[in-house]
Each structure stands twice: as C-alpha cells, then as structure tokens.
Structure 1
Amino acid sequence: MAFRGKKKSQFGRVPDPVTQGVHPSILKQARRSGQLNLTSRGLSTVPDAVWYLHQEIPGETQDVSFDQNPGEAWWDQVDLTKLILASNFLVAIPDDIRNFPYLSVLDLHDNRMETLPDALNSLEHLIILDISRNRFKVFPRIVCEIYSLGSLHLEHNELVKLDGDIGNLPKLEDLDISHNAITGLPEGIGNMRKLRKLNVSHNKISYIPIEIGTMTELRLLDANNNQLEYVPPEIGNLKNIEQLYLRHNKLKELPLLEFCSNLKELHLGNNGLLAVSAEFLKKLESVTVLDLRDNKLSEFPPEVSFMSNLERIDLSNNNLSQLPFSLGGIQSLNSIVLDGNPMKTIRRDIILRGTVELKKYLQGKMPEAPEEAPDKVKGVWNYKGQSGIIGGDAGGIKAHEVQQSKLLNLSGRNMDSIPDDIMAVAMKGQVNTVNISKNNYKDLPRNLILLEGTLRHLDVSFNKLTYLHSEISLYLKLTSLDLRNNYLENLPLVMESLQELRELIISYNRFKELPMVIYHLKKLEILMADNNSISAIDVEGFRSMSMIATLDLQNNNIANIPPELGLCTQLKALELSGNPCRNPRPAILAKGTNAILEYLRSRIVQPKYASY
C-alpha cells in the first residue's frame, strides 16, 4: 500500500515548478545528487520550487511504497550542497537561502545583483562563493560573517572599497577582487594568514599596506594594472610567494625581496623603473621568469648571474645599449627578449639569430676563469684527481656533494650512459634533480629509472633524442622536463601520467604539431615550444589547461592565429613572433600578452561566447 499526498510549505502553498520554468525532473535529480545547476535559464527571480526543494516534492512522486517500481522516497534525498544560478538576470536572492544549511558552493556570477541576503551567514558549511560579474557598488559586509569561506570571487563588479572586516575570514585561501574600482587595500587584509591566491588586478589601487608582509602563505599576488607608485619592503617577507605580478603600474623603484626564496615568476613590465640594483637581483636565485619589459632601464647589473634558475628574461622596450656578459653563463636560460632597445655593443644580426647564438656571443666575451679554480656548476664540483671521486674520467663527481645537494649534474661530459657507481650514489642521496644535457644520449639512460620515486627535475636538452621512451611515464613526481635541442617529432601518450608536471620545454626540435598529450597535463604552467615546425594552434586544447600561464610558440610555421586564443585569459606570457602569420601584426605582438589577447578577442565574430 502506498501513501500519496502533498506537503504544504510554511506559507500554506505548493509551488508548481513547471509554471516557474524549472522542470520537476531537474528538481528530482537535485534531491538525489545534492547539486542544482540553473545556469543561463533567463531567470529574473528564483522559483519558489527551488527554495522548497525538499519540502515540496510533487505528489505524484512522493510514493512511500515497497512495490517493485517505487516513486521518489524521502530516504533517497540528500542535502543540497551545490547551487549554481549563474548567467541569469537575478537582482537578488531571498533569505530562503537558509533552507540549504549544508550548501558548500554558491555560484551567482554573471547576474544583476547589488545586495546579498543576511541569511547567508547561517550557511556554516559554505566554502565557495562566486558573485563576480554583477553590479555590486558596495562591498556586501555579510560576506565577512561567513567564516567557513575558502574561496571568494568578486571580480568584474563596481566596488570602490574593500571592507576591512574581510580579515575576519580565517579559512579564506582564494580572493579575487579584480576588475573593480578599488583605490586601496585595508590593513585588515593582513589577518588572512591562510590566503594563497590574491588577485587585485585591474583596479585603481595606489597603495598596499605593510600588513601584506604577514600573509606568509600567499603563493600568487596579482596586482597588475593599478596605480602603484610604491611597494612596501614588507612584501619581501612573503616566503612562499611563487608568482608576483606588478605590471602596468607606476613603480620607479623596487624593494628587496629578502625572503622570497620560492619566487618563480616576477612580472614588472610596463612601469617606470629606472634601474634594478645588484642586491635586488641577488635575492632572485629561484626566479625562472623575469619580466622587465617597457620600463626605462639604461643598464643591467652583471649580478644577474646569481639568478641560476632563470629560464626567460624579457628586457624589451627599455633604453639598454649593452648586456652584461654574465647573462650568457646562465645555463638554464633559454629565452632572452631584447626588442626595442638601442643596442650598440651587440650587432643586430647576432640578436636576430636568437637566444642560443646571443648566449654564445656573451659567453665568448666573459673573462676566462683561473685554471686552478674548481669547476662549479650549480653546486656540483668536479674534483678530478681528489679523493671521494666516482665515475672516473666520464663522471668525476664527488659523492658527498651529490648527496648533500640532491643534484646530479653530468652536463657536457660527452656521455651516452650513466655509470652504475654514480647512479648508486644518486639513489642513496635520493637525488631529485638530474642534468644530463649536452651529451650524446639517443634515449633516456635505462638506469635512470632507479630514481623514479624521487626525481622532480630532469634536463635532457642538447642531446640526440629521436624519441622519448615510454618509461618517462613512470616519473610521477616530475615537475619540470627540459627536452630542447633534440630531434623529437612526438611525445608518447603515456606521458599523461605526469600529472605533477608544471614546466615542459620542447624548443628546437622537429615537432610539426603540438603532441596531444600536452593538453592532458592539467598542472602545466609553462610550455616552451619555440623554434619547431608547428603549423597550427589547438585553441580548445589550451582552453582546457586552466593552469597554463606561459606559452612560447615563436619561430614556428603558424600561418593563422585563431581569434579564440584570446579567450585563454589564464595566459600571462604569450610569444608568437617569428611565425608567417599576418595577424596579429608585429606592432601588436610587441605590446605584450594582454594586448595580443585583447586584439584576438576583438576579432571573434562567430560563435558568440558568454561574458564569463
């Protein structure tokens, strides 16, 4: 025997979901899954049937039956945890939101909202709140009372001020207030000690409080496109910062980044910098990308040699007439951008040959080191003829140094294999970085697999690889892989397993297209694929890569740059020069990534994309 009936709401009425534009099957699925997505449904108000999702089960589906085909029963329901109302015409939501006390995700982006209900502070499990692309003119203070929040997005509104009580959110890790009209950051922002990502770009911010220095968990700070004339020295206390964006401001000088030992990318382009000091460069040892384009630099210190991990430096559109010779001695450096400088000491034809030839020129101008000096390369010493040496003439590696540094550097030794005694020491020392560049390897050394459990950085550049063995898929902890200057034409699909890979360099090979496996590397941030024979860009592939920030496709055979590439707004550094394409024009390419992306977006006609 089955029971049939309709529950009454607290107002004594039963909303009809069909007449309100939401089909009962959608609500039924939401009761089972705990997720309700009403994106792009033209809603100006949220139907009552949504707010009474659990109270208002339609009578025909309320059977409490033990028949073979029972209807929807109360025990099949789960609490709503995710509610998406994005891309509608909502101007407000009612206090009925409290009917979902277990909500963890509330997405209201791309509506017409100006206020939020006070009942939001009753959502004690809310972790993600997205109210971007609305019409908020005043910061909704109720947000500061949602103490469970981990992610808050307020970009693309009309805010002029950020409430100081924002610091009351102890669990917040991701805050995006970009594309507003905010003029300054409150001191209270320093109380967010767990914040990892802070995006304040595209505002009118003229000052950053000294309290920024207490946000030691910060990994990314994006303050591009503001009115900053000064950055407090306390920013140098951000010991975990990895990406710092200060482009398009009014900076004329920079503080020492004293304790930023994890900094990987530093973007300072489009400011008014007159100089960078030697002491400033000495603190940037971990930096891999340095952007100083479009400033007023007239000289550059030779202390750039302290930046031993530097891979890309952009000095374009400055007043430089010469470069320090020490720049040519940085082994990891694979891209030097100099366009728009009045170079007098380096011939134009040398610059036009590219980074490799430019480095050779600079190296040739470096003073010779004393013969008695030991050969130190990134912390590994060649102590040939001294005790504790392993590998004989082929290796010449001091075991103690390998174990202490966790680095095995066998670069430029004319080797085609790794001696077993060297590998034994590397295993014992749990080596995480291996450099076997500038040798005669035609494939990965077979005994390298012994380091699969610890290897994070692998440099096989300047060898004779014609293919990459499928064993590469076993190095699951690999975060950077350098394969430049080989003879590769493809990469194995099994590389998809390298889900920790953040940086991939395949420059100067024989690729005619980008290998499909690249688009499956979801944590990839840096892709250097310049100087190949690539003929096309897979826009959908790159749009699926949410972390990709640096993309270098210079000097390939790309005849057409798809306008849809402009939708890849996650890109912070895009290089396309040296391709046979007519658009974008060189003048646009010279203006930098933001200008390129904006230009490409302006050329999109069909299909029409949503604003978000």
Structure 2
Amino acid sequence: MPFNFKKKLNQVQIVMKHLITTVLLLLFSALLFAQKGNVYTSLENALQNPNKVYELNLSGQKLESIPASIGQFSKLEKLDLHNNSITELPAAICNLQHLRWLNISFNKLKRLPANIGNLNALEYLNTHSNELESLPNSFTKLNALKTLNLYYNHLDSLNSDFGNLSNLRQLYLNSNPLKALPSSFSQLKNLSLLNLSFNRINYVLTDFQDLEQLDSLIIISCHLRFIPKEITQIKSLTYLNLQANEIQVIPEAIQNLEHLEELIMQDNPITTIHPNIGSLSKLSLLNLSDYNYNLVAEIPASLTNLKELKVLQICGLGLKKIPDFIFDMEQLEIIDIKYNNFKKVPKSVKKLVHLKRFDFRSEKIVERQNKNVQKWLPNTEINALNERSDQMQKVLKALMKAADNKKE
C-alpha cells in the first residue's frame, strides 16, 4: 500500500490541535486555580478586582458592620466574617450567587437578611454564638445547604417547613431555648449528624425513624427522663450521646440500635440496665459512669456478649466489687472504673491481655494492690493513685526538686 503523505499530515495536525487545546485548558485551569487560591484579607484590596475574588477572610478585624459593596463579589465562593462585632448583614450579601461557604460565628447578629434564601449555592453556614431569635421565612429555600451550625443562639422554635432543607447532612442546634422540633423535621432524609444538646427539649415529637441516614445523635443535658422510643427506632445510629440527663432506665428497646458503636450515658441516675444491652453486637465504647455517685442496681453480665467492645467506663457507680465477668472480656483495651467502693482488684485481671489502660483510682485501694496490678499487667498503663495520693506525690516531687536546686 503506497504511503499517503497528505492523510498522515492531517492526522498529525489533528493530534497537534488536540494537544494544544489540552495545554491551553490546563494553563487556564492553573490560572483559575491560582486565582481561587488567593485569599483576600482586606475588603479595600478585594474591591479593586471584585470579579477575581473567590475567597474573602475578614475574621477577627473588630468589624461592626459590612458595607453593601460586599455584593460586588460576583464570583465569591467563601466568606469568613467570624469573630467580629457585626450586628447586621447587608441585604446585598444575598446577591452572592456562587457563595458556597459562609462563617458568621461569634458576632452580635439578632437576625439574618430576609432574602438569605437567595444564596442558592450555599452548602455551609456557621452562625455559632450570635443572638438570633428566629430564622427568616426564606431560610428554608437554602436547598444546597449541607452543614448548618446554629449553636448558641436564642432560637426557641424553627420554621414549620424546616424539613425543606432536604440536603442537610450535619445540624447543630445545641444551646438554644428550643422546646420542640417541627413535624417537618422527619423530612431531613440526608441528615447524618444531629446535636440537640443544652436545649429545653425534654421529650421528642418527631418520627426519627424516618431519618434513615442519621448515624450520630447528641442530646446532652436536656432533662430527658427516659430514652424516647423514637430514638430506639433509629436503626442507622452508630453514635448516641445522652450524657447528663435524668434517665434512670436503659430499656429493652435499646436492642433495636443494631448498628450502634458508641453509647454514652454518663451522668445519668441509672438504676436499671436491661440485659438486652448485650445485643448491641457492634458496640465498641460504652460509658455508664456517673460522677454524681448514684448507685446502679446491677451491671448485666450480658456485656460479655459485646465481642467488639474495646472501651468500658463505669466510674462512680458505688460498686463494692469489680464484676467478675469483666475479666472474661479479653478484647477490652481501656477500662475506666475509678471512684467506686471496691477495695481490691483480683488476680484474674491478668486475663485482660489486650488492656492498654486501666484506671481504678479509689480511696479504698491500698498501695500494695497498685503494685500487684502493675505486676500482673506489665504492658498496661495503670492509673491507681487517688486524688489525695496524687497530691502527696506532687508535693514530694516538688520538695525533691527544691532540694536538688539547693545542692546546685
């Protein structure tokens, strides 16, 4: 077959054209990336080229207001205004159609702009530590929002259509005077983390079982008197923190949380723990401690069924002896059992061959016992000093150091 020079030349030209196009695209992308990587920290400097500003950081500049000129940054994607003294945001901020990330935490805002719902691209909003008393009606139009932090404001209710924020993944509502959640809350199908701590919600009105993606639920210090059945129906949960409530019973229904990996019940006056807690086959951390020294009736031996359990914390429960079954849980890596009433640690503790840390501080434990445990568990970090002994040790070290200094 004769060599077709013209055809070959055309092929080379096509390849070169593609190559040149690719190089130009790469150069353009690099230039754009360089521009996006440029963080402006001065509003005055940024306004000199408003169409080239992608990130603006005005945090910690003691600002009391933001000018309407903020609306000129048509390509702005990230705006950080946290740690100022801003009392009001200009309406022009709602014109930032490309804004994806907004941090206005630690200011003095009592309200958000009425048209904040116009920020169609907004994915992250942090309003932590302001004085917000309500959210504007347009707020629930922020359909792209994935992370919302409303921590430490003055919100006593949420918009009735709050559930329209259908893309929300993480929601922090802690430290507000909230009394209830709207019925639409169950529409937040993509929610994976919810923090309701330090509110006035002492009962649950929403059907949490509809939140099929929820894996982390935190309700600290909300005066809950029992674990609501709505919580035990969230089968997707892997992390549940109900610390510092008024819960007395861990119910039979706890077994429904079949994917639970961490359960924190610290500082609740628990008197009854249902044996079904041993059904939580994926549990790796269990904290039942109570530093208010309420006495738990019994810790069920069914805990031995928790083959994945690595961390067990049962401090301040008034235990007169360490439950024998604990020494059969050889997979344990951390045991925190301090401030109980037992006087000795049995030799069977030797069976805990994987133990990395063992804290059994108690006024009742004698020094000889401490040495025995250290001998039985040579590869384990031991914390056995009670507070009085600890203070004496510190005083002794200080005296020895002072004596050494005098010698010098």
With structure 2 as the length reference, what TM-score do the two structures score?
Answer: 0.65
Give the CA RMSD over aligned residues: 3.3
1:287 aligns with 2:112: no
Query: Which among 145, 150, 166 is matched to residue 216 of structure 1?
Result: 166
Alignment correspondent of 1:345: 297
1:205 aligns with 2:155: yes
Q: CA separation of 1:265/1:579 partners in 2, compared to 1, >3 Å: closer, same or farther?
A: farther
Alignment correspondent of 2:9: none
Q: CA separation of 1:485/1:299 partners in 2, compared to 1, >3 Å: closer, same or farther?
A: closer
Query: How many Å separate the matches in 2 of 1:296 and 1:164?
Result: 39
Q: CA separation of 1:114/1:296 partners in 2, compared to 1, >3 Å: closer, same or farther?
A: same
Alignment correspondent of 1:525: none
Cα offset, 1:274, TM superposition? 2.2
Query: How many Å separate the matches in 2 of 1:158 and 1:180?
Result: 5
Cα deviation 1:434-465 (Å, max 9, x = unaligned) = xxx97xxxxxxxxxxxxxxxxxxxx8x99xxx
Q: CA separation of 1:344/1:485 partners in 2, compared to 1, >3 Å: closer, same or farther?
A: closer
**What residue ranges of structure 2 are gaps of 5+ in the alignment?**
1-29, 311-328, 335-353, 359-379, 391-408
Checking the alignment, whether the CA contact within 8 Å between 1:219 and 1:243 is kept in structure 2 is yes
Query: How many Å separate the matches in 2 of 1:105 and 1:149?
Result: 9
> SS of the counterpart of 1:106?
strand
Query: Which among 267, 271, 274 is matched to residue 218 of structure 2?
Result: 267
Checking the alignment, whether the CA contact within 8 Å between 1:201 and 1:223 is kept in structure 2 is yes
Checking the alignment, whether the CA contact within 8 Å between 2:242 and 2:266 is kept in structure 1 is yes
Question: Of Structure 1 and Structure 2, which has the larger fraction of its residues in helix?
Answer: 2
Cα offset, 1:210, TM superposition? 2.1
Query: How many Å separate the matches in 2 of 1:580 and 1:212?
Result: 51
1:110 aligns with 2:55: no
Query: Which among 333, 343, 360 is matched to residue 508 of structure 1?
Result: 333
Query: How many Å separate the matches in 2 of 1:186 and 1:297?
Result: 36
Checking the alignment, whether the CA contact within 8 Å between 1:237 and 1:258 is kept in structure 2 is no
Amino acid at match of 1:83: V
Identity value in percent? 21
Matches within 5 A, 1:423-434: none
Q: CA separation of 1:232/1:359 partners in 2, compared to 1, >3 Å: closer, same or farther?
A: same
Checking the alignment, whether the CA contact within 8 Å between 2:132 and 2:153 is kept in structure 1 is yes
> SS of the counterpart of 2:243?
coil
Q: CA separation of 1:191/1:317 partners in 2, compared to 1, >3 Å: closer, same or farther?
A: same
Cα offset, 1:145, TM superposition? 1.3
Query: Which among 158, 162, 180 is matched to residue 130 of structure 2?
Result: 180
Cα deviation 1:478-518 (Å, max 9, x = unaligned) = xxxxxx966xxxxxxxxxxxxxxxxxxxx629xxxxxxxxx
Cα offset, 1:267, TM superposition? 0.1
Cα deviation 1:310-330 (Å, max 9, x = unaligned) = 111112222321012111111
Query: How many Å separate the matches in 1 of 2:298 and 2:58?
Result: 55
Matches within 5 A, 1:230-249: 230-249=180-199
Amino acid at match of 1:82: N
Query: How many Å separate the matches in 2 of 1:579 and 1:151?
Result: 48
Q: CA separation of 1:294/1:145 partners in 2, compared to 1, >3 Å: closer, same or farther?
A: same
Checking the alignment, whether the CA contact within 8 Å between 2:66 and 2:89 is kept in structure 1 is no
Alignment correspondent of 1:326: 276
Amino acid at match of 2:60: D
> SS of the counterpart of 1:221?
strand
Query: Which among 375, 381, 387 is matched to residue 557 of structure 1?
Result: 381
Amino acid at match of 2:297: T
> SS of the counterpart of 1:210?
coil
Query: How many Å separate the matches in 2 of 1:342 and 1:332?
Result: 28
Query: How many Å separate the matches in 2 of 1:208 and 1:221?
Result: 13
Cα deviation 1:567-600 (Å, max 9, x = unaligned) = xxxxxxxxxxx68697xx9xxxxxxxxxxxxxxx
Query: Which among 181, 188, 194 is matched to residue 144 of structure 2?
Result: 194
Q: CA separation of 1:80/1:216 partners in 2, compared to 1, >3 Å: closer, same or farther?
A: closer
Matches within 5 A, 1:20-419: 82-85=38-41, 93-94=43-44, 97=47, 99-254=49-204, 255-282=206-233, 284-340=234-290, 342-346=294-298, 359-360=303-304
Cα offset, 1:160, TM superposition? 1.3
Query: How many Å separate the matches in 2 of 1:80 and 1:307?
Result: 44
Query: How many Å separate the matches in 1 of 2:31 and 2:296?
Result: 67
Matches within 5 A, 1:408-557: 508=333, 531-533=355-357, 557=381
Checking the alignment, whether the CA contact within 8 Å between 2:235 and 2:256 is kept in structure 1 is yes
Query: How many Å separate the matches in 2 of 1:209 and 1:135?
Result: 26
Query: How many Å separate the matches in 2 of 1:581 and 1:210?
Result: 52
Query: How many Å separate the matches in 2 of 1:151 and 1:338?
Result: 38
Query: How many Å separate the matches in 2 of 1:296 and 1:134?
Result: 38
> SS of the counterpart of 2:276?
helix
Q: Segments of 4+ in structure 1 off by > 6 A?
A: 32-35, 578-582
Query: How many Å separate the matches in 1 of 2:238 and 2:186?
Result: 17
Cα offset, 1:154, TM superposition? 0.2
Cα deviation 1:282-341 (Å, max 9, x = unaligned) = 2x1111111111112233331111111111111222232101211111111122222227
Query: How many Å separate the matches in 2 of 1:315 and 1:233?
Result: 27
Alignment correspondent of 2:369: none
Checking the alignment, whether the CA contact within 8 Å between 1:244 and 1:267 is kept in structure 2 is yes
Checking the alignment, whether the CA contact within 8 Å between 2:277 and 2:302 is kept in structure 1 is no
Checking the alignment, whether the CA contact within 8 Å between 1:109 and 1:132 is kept in structure 2 is yes
Cα deviation 1:202-246 (Å, max 9, x = unaligned) = 112211112220111111001111111112232221111111011
Query: How many Å separate the matches in 2 of 1:343 and 1:232?
Result: 37
Checking the alignment, whether the CA contact within 8 Å between 1:95 and 1:117 is kept in structure 2 is no
With structure 1 as the length reference, what TM-score do the two structures score?
Answer: 0.45
Cα offset, 1:95, TM superposition? 9.0
Checking the alignment, whether the CA contact within 8 Å between 1:197 and 1:218 is kept in structure 2 is yes
Cα offset, 1:121, TM superposition? 1.9
